[in-house]
Amino acid sequence: MSNTRAITTTEKTAPETTALKDFMALIKIGIVNSNLITTFTGMWLAFHFNNIHFLTQLDTIFFTMLGTSLVIAGAASLNNYIDRDIDPFMERTKSRPTVTGKISSGKVLVMSFAFIILGTISLFMTTFTAGVLGIIGVFSYVVLYTLWTKRRFVSNTVVGSISGAIPPLIGWTAVDPHMNLIAFMLFVVMFIWQPPHFYALAMKRCEEYRAAGIPMLPVVKGFDVTKRHIVLWVAALLPLPFFMTSLGHFFVIFATILNLGWLILGIYGYKMKDSLKWARIMFIYSLNYLTILFVTMVIVTVV
């Protein structure tokens, strides 16, 4: 009953939006775009290490980027459909079209599965492995994370990191089904990057997660424990560049500097009295870190 009242209130107070904005919110366009960066990087590195010129593989590039976009958009909109009962309790999600009712639940379901099916077919147009990884990504995000762990376990963020680490593997295997160390390290980097990124976000939105009944780490364990976890996860990134020496010494040094910068900010958090300000700084750094790191991987293989 309380959820129904929250949704009704949201409908009355929701800001005016266009159909395009509602669609972009439904598919979580920010998540789609960020994952396309890692997907393209995985694909580009596969071209590089297999001595394949990208101009000879334009069809692979097209189907990989299209397929990845569609499966992520489909999984994201399905996540919105499932979470429409708790989204009204969070400021950043209460205006989603699945909450305001601007897009009906039936349409969301049809669109979600259509996107997932079309995206999976597109990935299978590249290689069998890429198609299977697309399915694994959707399953881990929708079933393992959204349906199983998100509302039950404080480890939900770690479980959710599986799906977020798969896109660069999709990009790689769309070109080369046989993954090497670099491909594996792309997965590891993405997997380890996500907990400190989302823990910082959870600190910022702690009371909203509490109201929604989601057992995020800062809600269950508090800010001090969350800070320690963030620092430990960031520290776990430190050795990773040294497993990626085939990208050159410049990359190893540059990635290490990025890692040390993030770690120093993390340790500095113990001295800051304003934990929320520190969380905002860590969150912004994590966003820039990911983009800069993956773009650098592409650049060092071009110059």
Q: What's the pLDDT tens digit per position in 245-282?
A: 999 999 999 999 999 999 999 998 888 889 999 999 99
Give the C-alpha separation, 89 to 77, whole Å: 18
At residue 115, the pLDDT reads 98
What is the three-state SS of 97-147?
HHHHCCCCHHHHHHHHHHHHHHHHHHHHCCCHHHHHHHHHHHHHHHHHHHH
* pTM summary value: 0.92
pLDDT in tens, 45-74: 999 999 999 999 999 999 999 999 999 999
Which tens digits make up the pLDDT trace of 190-204?
Answer: 999 999 999 999 999
Q: Does the pLDDT value for residue 16 go beyond 90?
A: no
- The overall average pLDDT reported for the chain is 93
Dihedral of CA atoms 78, 79, 81, 84 in degrees, nearest 10, equals 180
Q: Residue 12 has what pLDDT?
A: 42
Q: How far is CA 84 from the centre of its chain?
A: 20
CATH class of 1-178: mainly alpha
Angle at 94 between CA 2 and CA 14, to 5 degrees: 100
Between the CA of residue 165 and those of 5, 159, 183, 184, 193, what are the distances in Å?
37, 11, 11, 10, 9
Amino acid at 39: T
